[in-house]
Structure 1
């Protein structure tokens, strides 16, 4: 199964970002990708954090008559291109007390028929302050609660169990263990990590952490990222990666918009798990 990680340098203009995301998804599909993954905040890198509130959408699974142009566009792209779409993240409106003041940072996954197959809400919210840069996602985001996996069915009939995560989640290996060791389910074959890592933290830790998650879970990793200087002044690290279960980097785009692709190889996955059966040796 060929997969594609899309790298973007998103702007404060949601319409422009969506149009560019659709162009890049079409490019990936034309190159033979069966699954395409967008980065975190693909739809908006606002001038301030609260800009997310203005484009927040109600979940179509809860409010099927809602306008929800971002969700509808991702579903249409999946159906028209005939691919799985792992929709980066988009702001889903909170219900109840947090309505209007908080959003969920959500990954929506769409099957090739355009039907939504899964939704994951980012659990771990990023906070960082080194005296020069300061971020606190908890000011606007409401965290999710549950790990989520989804089965991506390839055209050859093979199913790839995929664990969903977002950016800062990468620093919490227990999340990936929880996804890979759900009772009654096989371990994840693929882990998706859409991200908008800062240049500072990305330079230090991005590839290191991604390769660690691949090796310790003996799974492929796809990590589509934001990568460049944004109109709001922020610089993101980029380096969208696809990594194999042995920790080998199969594809990388250091900076700028574009697409990286690689093949998921079931025989390679089985060989790594057979030769070093670490997943079977887990005791805690």
Structure 2
């Protein structure tokens, strides 16, 4: 089947972002894609919690979710919304970083809240504390699409192989890692981590990403790495979108999952052991 990922450069304006995202989803469908994936925080990239509080919505009211459900139904495609920033009813006011799988009827097949928060100090000028604005999820999620089984994850989750292993053990043929990745850690680790997750699990890894410098009404810009990636179950990079926003179509052959696992049956060879 044909699939497509969108590499986006969104701003902190969800309305403007939605218009461009819908155009790109339509373009992907016009090119024959039956499964279309968007990056992390498709609706809004912002470093200002007060701005997020003013523009983000609860799930039931979010216009990006509604519009993408509508276009999935109109075009008869599966859409993985990499994630949306959404308001919650948490007492501390933190948001959810939530991914959705939408079926060709426009229904929500699965939703996943990002488990691992990006709380790091990369260097003196690049420090992140995602948990100050987003509350972590607690539940790993396997989604059953018409064409296969998808283990849902988001960005920083890729550094945690136990999550990937749990998803593959539950039957995942595809792992999704939509991202808004740091350029510093992206250059160092992005390709290696995603190839490792594909090789370890004998699965497809699909990672649609944000790219470039993201404009902000608050004059607080953020840069992301780009390089949306598709890796096959043998660890071969099928697609690297580099740094240009756009629609990137590729062939998704799930028979390669069984082939890779037959050639290297590492999961069958795994043995219990005592920890040191």
TM-score in terms of structure 2 length: 0.92
* 1:46-99: CA deviation from partner (whole Å, max 9, x where unpaired): 252443333333233xxxxxx32122112112111211111121123222423x
Q: Structure 1: state its 5+ residue gaps.
A: 61-66, 154-158
Quote the Cα distance in structure 1 between the aligned partners of 2:138 and 2:11: 29
Deviation at 1:212, TM superposition (A): 0.4
* 1:184-239: CA deviation from partner (whole Å, max 9, x where unpaired): xxx21111110000111111111110000000010001100001111142211100
Q: Is the 8 A contact 2:226 2:243 kept in 1?
A: yes
Q: Structure 2: state its 5+ residue gaps.
A: none
1:91 corresponding residue in structure 2? 85
SS in 1 for 2:17: helix
SS in 2 for 1:222: strand
SS in 2 for 1:235: strand
2:69 corresponding residue in structure 1? 75
1:64 corresponding residue in structure 2? none
Quote the Cα distance in structure 2 between the aligned partners of 1:83 and 1:226: 22
1:39 aligns with 2:39: yes
Q: Is the 8 A contact 1:55 1:91 kept in 2?
A: no
1:268 corresponding residue in structure 2? 256
2:244 corresponding residue in structure 1? 256
SS in 2 for 1:85: strand
Deviation at 1:162, TM superposition (A): 0.4
Residues 47 and 178 of structure 1: CA distance in aligned 2, closer, same or farther (over 3 Å): closer
Q: 2:140 aligns with which of 134, 147, 159?
A: 147
1:135 aligns with 2:143: no
Quote the Cα distance in structure 2 between the aligned partners of 1:202 and 1:20: 25
Quote the Cα distance in structure 2 between the aligned partners of 1:33 and 1:81: 10
RMSD: 1.4
1:195 corresponding residue in structure 2? 179
Residues 50 and 134 of structure 1: CA distance in aligned 2, closer, same or farther (over 3 Å): farther
Quote the Cα distance in structure 2 between the aligned partners of 1:52 and 1:280: 46
Quote the Cα distance in structure 2 between the aligned partners of 1:47 and 1:146: 26
Q: 2:201 aligns with which of 202, 214, 217?
A: 217
Aligned residues: 267
1:110 aligns with 2:102: yes
Q: Which runs of 4+ in 1 moved over 6 A?
A: none
Residues 235 and 223 of structure 1: CA distance in aligned 2, closer, same or farther (over 3 Å): same
1:28 corresponding residue in structure 2? 28
1:277 aligns with 2:265: yes
